[in-house]
Structure 1
C-alpha cells in the first residue's frame, strides 16, 4: 500500500501550521461533519486512531468487567484489545470463508447471557452482512459495533458502509485509503452518544478547548467524568479533508485494479481471489488471494518468491487467538479463521499502481503456478 498524497495535502497542513491553531479545532469540526455526511452518519467524532474509537465505543456502551464482547479472531489485534481495555472478555467467533467476516451463523453459537456487544469487522474493505447481525443483536439486547476501519468508500446494499449504525469506527492509518497519518473517527446515529464521546475524548471536559478559547468571557471548565486524551489535531483533519475529496477516485481506481487481478488470476489452479459479495461493493482496501493444495507453493513460499522478484506481498490477516497476548483466552474451534490466516496473502494494490507494476505481480504468481503471463 502507498497512500495517495501530493502538494494539496502539504498545502492544507501548512495552512494550519501558519494559522497558529494546531490542536483540535475548526478543521477537526469541519472534517467530522464532512466525513459523517460521506458515510451516511448523523454524527462524527474525530479521535486519535480507530483503536481509540473502538475503546471509546465500548466505554460509551458501559461494557466492563464480567461482560463478554464477541469479536472475530480474524482481524488486527486492536479489535480484540478494545474489549480488554474496558475490562471485558473477548470471545472469538469464526468467520465466513468467502469474505472473512462474522455472520449470524458464526456469532450465534458463542452468545451467552454475559454478551454485551458484538464487534463486526468489514475485513479488508469487504462489507459484512450487518442487517441479519443487527436483528440478532437487537432481539437479545446486545449492542452491535461496526469496526469499519478498512471500509471508507465501501457500500452495503447501495449505501455507504456504516450508514445508520449506532456506533461505527474508522481508521485513517496510511494503509487505509483515506489517511491522516494516524487518526480515526467514531460515527453514530445517537446525538447523546456523540456529545458524550466528544467530552470523553477531551478528558471529560464539559466544554471543548475550541469553544473555551473562542469565548469572550472567562470560562472555568469542569470535568464531568474520567475521560481520555483521544484528540485529533487540526493538521491531521486538514489532510483528511483533502483526502476525503479524493475518496471516490481512490475507490474507482482500486476497483479497476482489483478487476484486472481477478481477470488475470482467475484461471490459476489452486488460487481464489477475493470478490464482491451479493450485498456489498468493496473498496478493495486489501486484495487478498487464498491458496489451496492445488497451488504448487505454500503461502510462505510464494511470499518469498514475490520478495525475491521485488514484489512486496504480505501475509493474510492475523488470527488474534494465536497471539501470545491471548494465549490464555478459551475459545471454540476456529477452522475457517485458521485456514484463511495460514493460506491467504495480500497482493500490492494502491492508487498510483501502474498497469506494468500489476503485470509484474501477476507474472510472478502465474510463473509459480506453471502458467504463462496473462
Structure 2
C-alpha cells in the first residue's frame, strides 16, 4: 500500500502549522463532522489510532475483568489486544472462508454467558454481514463494536459500512485508503456517548482544551474520571480533510484495478481471489488470493519467488492466536482462520500500480501454477 499524498496535503499541514494551532482544535472538529457524514454516522470522535478507538469503545460499553469479548483471530493483533487493555478475555471465533469475516454462526459457536461484546472486523475492507450481525448481537444482548479500520469507502446493503453501527472504530494509518499518518476515529449515533468519548480521549476533562482557550472568561476545568491522552492533532486532521475528499476517487480506482486482477487471474487453477460479498462492496484495501492445494506451489514459495523478482507481496492476514503474545490461550479449532493465514497472500494494489505491473505480477503467478 502506497498512500496517495500530494501538494494539497502538504499545504494543508503547513497552514495548520502557520496558524499556531497544532494540537487538537478546529480542524479536528471539522474532520470529525465530515468523516461522520461520509460514513453515515451521527457523531465522530477523532483519536490517536484505531487501537485507541477500539479501547475507548470497550470502555464506553463498560467491558472489564470477568467479561469475555468474541473477536476474530484473523485480524491485526490490535483487535484482540484492545480486549486485554480493559482486563477482559478475548475469545477467538472462526471466520468465513470467502470474506475472512466473523459470521453469526461462528460467533454463536463460542459465545457464553460471560460474553459482553463482540468485535467484528470488516477484514481488508470486505464488509461483514452488518444486518445479520447487528440483529444477532441485539438478540443476544451483547455490544457490537465494528472494527472498520480498513473499511472507509466500503458498503453493505447499499450504505457505507459504518452507517447504523452502534459504535465503529476506524484507522487512518498509511496502509489504509485515507491517512493522517497515524490516527483513528470512533463513530456512533449516540450524542451522550460521543460526549463521554471526547472526555475520555482528553484526560477526562469536562471541557476541551480548544473550548477552554476559546473562552473570553477563565475556565476552571474538572476531571470527571480517570481517562487517557488519545487526541489527534490539527496537523493530522488538516491532512485528513484533504484525504477525505480523495476517497471516492481512490475507491473507484482500486475497484478498477481489482476488476482487472480478476480478469487476469480467472484462468489460473487453484488460485481464488477475494471478491465482493453478495450484500455489499469492498474498497479493496487489500487484494488477497487464496492458494488451493491444486495450485503449483505453496504460499511461502510463491512469496519468495515474487520477492526475488521485485514484487512486494505480503503474507495473508495474521492469526493472533498463533502469535507468542497469545500462547497462553487455548482456543477451540479455527480451521478456516488457519487456512487463510497459511495459504493466502496479498498482492500489490495502489494508485501507482500500472497495467504493466499487473501483467508482470500475474505472469509470475501463472508460471508458478504450471499454466
Report TM bin, short chain. Answer: over 0.9
Cα distance in structure 2, aligned partners of 1:111 and 1:136: 12
Aligned to 1:294: 294
TM-score normalised by structure 2 residue count? 0.99
- What displacement does 1:368 show? 1.2
C-alpha offsets along residues 48-85 of structure 1, whole Å, 9 cap, x if unaligned? 00000000000010000000000000000000001000
Matches within 5 A, 1:86-105: 86-105=86-105
Q: Return the alpha-carbon distance in structure 1 between the equivalents of residues 351 and 107 of structure 2.
A: 35
Structure 2: stretches of 5+ with no match in the other structure: none
| Inter-partner Cα distance in structure 1 for 2:106 and 2:13 | 44
Equivalence for 2:110 = 110
Residues 203-212 or 327-336, more deviating: 327-336
Question: 2:354, 2:330 → 1: CA distance?
Answer: 46
- Using the TM superposition, give the Cα deviation of residue 143 of structure 1 relative to its aligned residue in structure 2, in angstroms: 0.4
For residue 265 of structure 2, what is the aligned residue in structure 1? 265
Distance 1:280 1:235 in 2: 34
Q: Residue 136 of structure 1: CA displacement?
A: 1.4
CA distance in 2, matches of 1:359, 1:16: 42
Q: Number of aligned pairs?
A: 371
Deviations 1:63-117 (A, max 9, x none): 0000000000000000000100000000000000000000011000111110000
Give 1:253's aligned residue. Answer: 253
Q: Is the contact made by 1:100 and 1:123 (CA closer than 8 Å) also made in structure 2? A: yes
1:206 aligns with 206
Deviation at 1:203, TM superposition (A): 0.3
Superposition RMSD on alpha carbons, in Å? 0.6
Cα deviation 1:249-305 (Å, max 9, x = unaligned):
000000000001111001101100101000010000000000011111100000000
Q: Deviations over 1:198-254 (max 9, x none)?
A: 000000000000000000001111100011000000000000000000000000000
SS at match of 1:110: coil
Q: How many Å separate the matches in 2 of 1:370 and 1:94?
A: 32
- 1:369 shift after superposition: 1.5
- Which secondary structure state, in structure 1, belongs to the residue aligned with residue 109 of structure 2? helix
Shift of 1:352: 2.2
For 2:45, the equivalent position in structure 1 comes to: 45
Distance between the aligned counterparts of 1:231 and 1:199, measured in 2? Answer: 10
| Structure 2 residue aligned with 1:281 | 281
Aligned residue number for residue 338 of structure 1: 338
Q: Please give the alpha-carbon distance, in whole angstroms, between the structure 1 residues aligned to 2:37 and 2:352.
A: 27
1:139 matched residue in structure 2: 139
- TM-score normalised by structure 1 residue count: 0.98
**Deviation of 1:361 (Å):** 1.1
Q: CA-to-partner distance for each residue in 1:125-157, whole Å, 9 max, x for gaps? A: 000002111111111210001000000000001
Specify the SS of the correspondent of 1:364.
Answer: helix
> Runs of 5+ in structure 1 lacking a partner?
none
Q: Is the 8 A contact 1:289 1:345 kept in 2?
A: yes
The answer to whether the 8 Å contact 1:42/1:164 transfers is no
2:18 pairs with 1:6: no
Confirm whether residue 367 of structure 1 aligns to residue 367 of structure 2.
yes
